[in-house]
Amino acid sequence: RDLITQSTWSTTASGIFQNFALVQVICTATRPMGGQKPGTSGLRKKTREFMQPDYLANFVQSVFDALHEVGTQTEGGTLVVSGDGRFFNKEAIQIIIKIAVAAGVQRFWVGKDGLLSTPAVSAVIRNRAGGFKAFGAFILSASHNPGGIEEDFGIKYNCENGGPSPEKITELVYAKTQTISEIRSADAFPNVDLSSVGVQEFSSPDGKRQVTIEIFDPTEDHVAVLQQCFDLEAIKRLMARSDFSFCYDSLHGVQGPYARRIFCDILGAPASCLMNCEPKEDFGGPSCPSHGHADPNLANARELCERMGVSADGSPVMGQSWQVPCMGAAADGDADRNMILGTRFFVTPSDSLAVIVDNCHLIPYFSRDNKNLLRGASRSMPTSCALDHVCKAKGIPFFETPTGWKFFGNLMDSGTYAPFICGEESFGTGSDHIREKDGMWAVLAWLQILAANNVDPSKPLVTIEDIVTSHWSKYGRNYYARYDYEGVDLDSANKMMERMVSMAGSWPADAFETYELQKADVFEYTDPIDGSVSKNQGIRFLFQDGSRIVFRLSGTGVVGATIRMYLEKYEPPAGDLSRHPHEVVKPLAVLALKLSKLQEFTGRDVPSVIT
């Protein structure tokens, strides 16, 4: 490190960086800034907060301090740095590179224009070829939250398995942010040109340090992994059917280039199937149909839903003057989430997961000679129990984990349960092909299932609705809805939850009206691989008929608290399978409000959104 402090730098690349300034590692005194506790998916704050002097640098330095403490070798290592393209993405990349150079990182992998989707980062860490292996990645994203100088920004560190940091790392990072006193940064290292694909080499005049910056096409590695998972030729034949049509909304997030490459270049879909596929720093901002919320759900992906004939509550809208496509799908800002729609038909994320698992023998990654190779499946606790029925019927090892993708990682890494499929109600679905949820994977999984059901072009098309309704008539239907109460006072939300926690086990017998309680508890998870225990992961009321009420506080919000209330009612195959979910769960909502005293605690009488 002392060497670096002394040295100046020159570049071997011709052109742009010939005349850059001299470089020194500068040690700047700093102090803890408070509030830098990573949530479910890294640190998320208002962009302006991140733009304060040293705010981002403090966090990044704390990550390196934590990595050094756990023995991660950063000197001479390879690091991935990129983001979803939101406002401050490019500036943040330059800040991170300078600190990482000071920490001895030798090689940087950056997507062109600083773009990499979250699943692509995971693929790059795990699979990028060329004789090097990344030790980790910084992902710049606040996922589905709006971007812009007045909106949200985020940063997350992923480890060498390609997945989000485990809790022991995020806790250590947090501890470091509370005691940090110094930022070590190669401040005069030139700003890197992110705009053209190629390799930029830098070396110190004494020749003792080299730094290589590799800018590459962001789709390269992710597409290569997906090509291993699916039979894209079969999907191409489906796309070519004259009675099949498809559209995809990237909501101006990072998915645009991936969508173009996969759907148009590889699968032959017309460019007209792509909606909002230019990545923008504000995801289109307030004036676009999603109001800058690159969030693939019924409330925000309105333009896609309208094209598909789906209303904001998921019910069909008839009478379009255009031909409604057979399938529509969307991704969030960093492209790890997905929404799947059929013609005038919404597939809930929980059902989507169950259907994919039930049909995974149609996906090459999970089958050989049409034999199912799947060795494990999992859902987060609040996700509906639709998956449980499939796993039970097929004898697939099943796991119920707390909310957050990181909990799936250990199961995948164990090897025992791979290949593995998992998903969450929050529009996340994926498998062990990488260690993040994967919006593109989910869409290709559905396309593969559709393709396998539509091999004969002389037969009428089997639709998404056909596949889902026949799934219900086999396994029954888990009617489901989530009520979100956003921007609630944090203290009141905590008090409401604490009261229910303290009541667990002592609810009066008549508290549940006509429902017969099986169990009321606070969800706790013991990781079957490393034995670690995660406590206090939400409050559950489980009823004899399979109905459930779940409460938890969101871990991804930026201001105040968001209370999530999850409602579920199981209807067996012989029952009425064609009702509107919101109607079906209404009595449960009434009961849930009574049990929680939500209105009393928060003053709210209606949810901000029902999904």
Active-site residues, by number, are 143
| Shortest reach from residue 337's CB to Zn ion, in Å | 5
Q: Which is nearer to ligand G6P, 296 or 404 (CB)?
A: 404
CA distance 415 to 169: 22
Q: β-pairing, 561-571 with 548-553? A: antiparallel
Q: 416 near 314, Cβ under 8 Å? A: no
Provide the edge-to-edge strand list for the sheet that holds 428-431.
398-401, 376-380, 420-424, 428-431
| Shortest reach from residue 143's CB to Zn ion, in Å | 3
Given 7, 219, 403, 410, the residue binding ligand G6P (CB under 6 A): 403
| Contact range with Zn ion by CB under 5 A, out of 139-147, 152-160, 409-417, 586-594 | 139-147
Q: Which is nearer to Zn ion, 276 or 547 (CB)?
A: 276
Nearest residue to Zn ion on Cβ basis: 143
Sequence-distant (6+) residues with CB within 8 A of 526 are 532, 533
Given 152, 187, 334, 388, the residue binding Zn ion (CB under 5 A): 334
Q: Which is nearer to ligand G6P, 126 or 144 (CB)?
A: 144
Q: Which is nearer to ligand G6P, 338 or 478 (CB)?
A: 338
| Shortest reach from residue 125's CB to Zn ion, in Å | 17
With H, G, I as helix, E, B as strand and everything else as coil, classify residue 453: helix
Residue 564: which of Zn ion, ligand G6P, none does it interact with, CB under 5 to 8 A by kind?
ligand G6P
Given 65, 221, 295, 424, the residue binding ligand G6P (CB under 6 A): 424
Single-letter residue type at 460: P
Tell me which residues in 275-294 interact with ligand G6P (CB under 6 A): none
Q: What is the 3-state secondary structure (H, E, C) of 296-318?
A: CCCCCCHHHHHHHCECCCCCECC
Residue 413: which of Zn ion, ligand G6P, none does it interact with, CB under 5 to 8 A by kind?
none
Indicate whether 348 belongs to the interface with ligand G6P (CB under 6 A).
Answer: no
Tell me which residues in 427-446 interact with ligand G6P (CB under 6 A): 428
Phi, psi values for residue 301, rounded to 5°: -85, 55
Displacement of CA 476 from its chain's centroid (Å): 28
Q: Which is nearer to ligand G6P, 104 or 555 (CB)?
A: 555
Q: 59 near 155, Cβ under 8 Å? A: yes
Which residues is 564 bridged to in the sheet? 484, 552
CA distance 334 to 156: 12
Q: Which is nearer to ligand G6P, 234 or 567 (CB)?
A: 567
Residue 40: which of Zn ion, ligand G6P, none does it interact with, CB under 5 to 8 A by kind?
ligand G6P
Indicate whether 295 belongs to the interface with Zn ion (CB under 5 A).
Answer: no
Which residues is 399 bridged to in the sheet? 378
| Shortest reach from residue 522's CB to ligand G6P, in Å | 16
| Shortest reach from residue 439's CB to Zn ion, in Å | 8
Given 117, 143, 158, 453, the residue binding Zn ion (CB under 5 A): 143
Sequence-distant (6+) residues with CB within 8 A of 247 are 273, 274, 275, 304, 307, 308, 325, 327, 328, 329
Indicate whether 145 belongs to the interface with ligand G6P (CB under 6 A).
Answer: no
List C-alpha distances in Å: 328 to 62, 98, 220, 273, 302. 42, 42, 24, 9, 12
The runs of H, that is alpha helices, within 241-282 are: 256-259
Given 59, 258, 405, 417, the residue binding ligand G6P (CB under 6 A): 405
Q: Residue 561: which H helix or E strand, with range? A: strand 561-571
Residue 41: which of Zn ion, ligand G6P, none does it interact with, CB under 5 to 8 A by kind?
ligand G6P
CA nearest to 239, candidates 464, 438, 448: 448
Q: 170 near 43, Cβ under 8 Å? A: no
CA distance 302 to 310: 9
| Shortest reach from residue 41's CB to Zn ion, in Å | 7
Residue 426: which of Zn ion, ligand G6P, none does it interact with, CB under 5 to 8 A by kind?
ligand G6P
CA nearest to 324, candidates 463, 161, 422, 487: 463
Residue 332: which of ligand G6P, Zn ion, none does it interact with, CB under 5 to 8 A by kind?
Zn ion
Indicate whether 41 belongs to the interface with ligand G6P (CB under 6 A).
Answer: yes
Given 184, 261, 302, 564, the residue binding ligand G6P (CB under 6 A): 564
Q: What's the token pair of residue 245?
A: 């049509």
Residue 334: which of ligand G6P, Zn ion, none does it interact with, CB under 5 to 8 A by kind?
Zn ion
Indicate whether 332 belongs to the interface with Zn ion (CB under 5 A).
Answer: yes
Indicate whether 78 belongs to the interface with ligand G6P (CB under 6 A).
Answer: no
Indicate whether 404 belongs to the interface with ligand G6P (CB under 6 A).
Answer: yes
Q: Residue 497: which H helix or E strand, with range? A: helix 490-503
| Contact range with Zn ion by CB under 5 A, out of 246-254, 281-289, 337-345, 441-449 | 337-345
| Contact range with Zn ion by CB under 5 A, out of 27-35, 325-333, 354-362, 489-497 | 325-333
Nearest residue to ligand G6P on Cβ basis: 554
CA distance 368 to 183: 52
Tell me which residues in 52-111 interact with Zn ion (CB under 5 A): none
Q: 461 near 532, Cβ under 8 Å? A: no
Q: 331 near 255, Cβ under 8 Å? A: yes
Q: Which is nearer to Zn ion, 364 or 555 (CB)?
A: 555
Residue 89: which of Zn ion, ligand G6P, none does it interact with, CB under 5 to 8 A by kind?
none
Given 65, 249, 282, 336, the residue binding Zn ion (CB under 5 A): 336
| Shortest reach from residue 427's CB to Zn ion, in Å | 9
| Shortest reach from residue 389's CB to ligand G6P, in Å | 21
Q: 412 near 527, Cβ under 8 Å? A: no
Which residues is 534 bridged to in the sheet? 525
Instruction: Report how many residues bind ligand G6P under the rule CB under 6 A.
Output: 14
The runs of H, that is alpha helices, within 309-373 are: 349-358
Quote the radius of gyration of the chain (alpha carbons, Å): 24
Q: Where are the beta strands (DSSP E) in 373-476?
A: 376-380, 398-401, 420-424, 428-431
List C-alpha distances in Å: 343 to 267, 314, 429. 20, 12, 21
Chain residues in the site for ligand G6P (CB under 6 A) = 40-41, 143, 380, 403-405, 424, 426, 428, 554-556, 564
Chain residues in the site for Zn ion (CB under 5 A) = 143, 332, 334, 336-337
